[in-house]
Amino acid sequence: MGDLPAARSNPSRPFEHTGVDFTGHVFLKANKGRGIKTTKGYVCVFVCMATKAVHLELVSDMTASAFIAALRRMAARRGTPLHIYSDNGRNFLKASKILKEEYLEIQNVVNTECQGAISDMGITWHFNAPAWPSAGGLWEGCVKVFKYHLKRVIGEQKLTYEEFSSLLAQIEGCTNSRPLCAISEDPDDINYLTPSHFLNCANM
């Protein structure tokens, strides 16, 4: 087995290096009640490359604009990532192009005194090779864990947008509470390291 890439092994703040992927579609109800029309939605999975912390965002479709909105919500709570890693989905490619154009526009509008302050705000996007799906094993694994919890909590039940968002927050908390290393066999030793420890330290 080869060495882990630098983004996985070097210390960094949570979500500075972020992997991203979409799950398959989920069904959302317009409101509560029986016989209510459902629409498709998707879950955008953000995973920190260094701490394996997970952030889940519910989106209405797989367009670039919907992804950018999800990215902005994630950045507002977790901090703006400096590097994003993903597969070659068309929405990711277009979102990367839009972000680069917006960043260049900001640099042209803001005066030279402020350009130094925003020079570190640009996001560098790294795409996997088109025929190399195993390169995204970290976020594909998080998608698998998410689906594991989702199917066992709701089964075939349809939820509203608010109910689904609440469920995502609970699954996110559960996923971020998993141990990152082997737990001691001593029954009195209940201390273990989780992704939540890194997130809580970053927010202090």
Give me the number of domains the chain comprises: 1
Residue range of the domain that includes 14: 6-181+189-203
Interatomic CA distance for residues 140 and 23, integer angstroms = 9
Interatomic CA distance for residues 46 and 55, integer angstroms = 5
Task: List the CATH number of the domain containing 41.
Answer: 3.30.420.10
- 1 located within any domain: no
111-126: pLDDT as tens digits = 555 445 445 567 888 8
26-67: pLDDT as tens digits = 988 887 767 778 888 999 999 999 899 999 999 988 888 888
- 65 located within any domain: yes
- 118 located within any domain: yes
Interatomic CA distance for residues 140 and 22, integer angstroms = 9
Q: Look up the pTM and report it.
A: 0.81
DSSP state of 18: E
84-117: pLDDT as tens digits = 888 877 788 888 888 888 777 766 655 555 445 4
Nearest Cα residue to 79 out of 19, 139, 126, 16:
16
- 25 located within any domain: yes
Residue type, 91: N
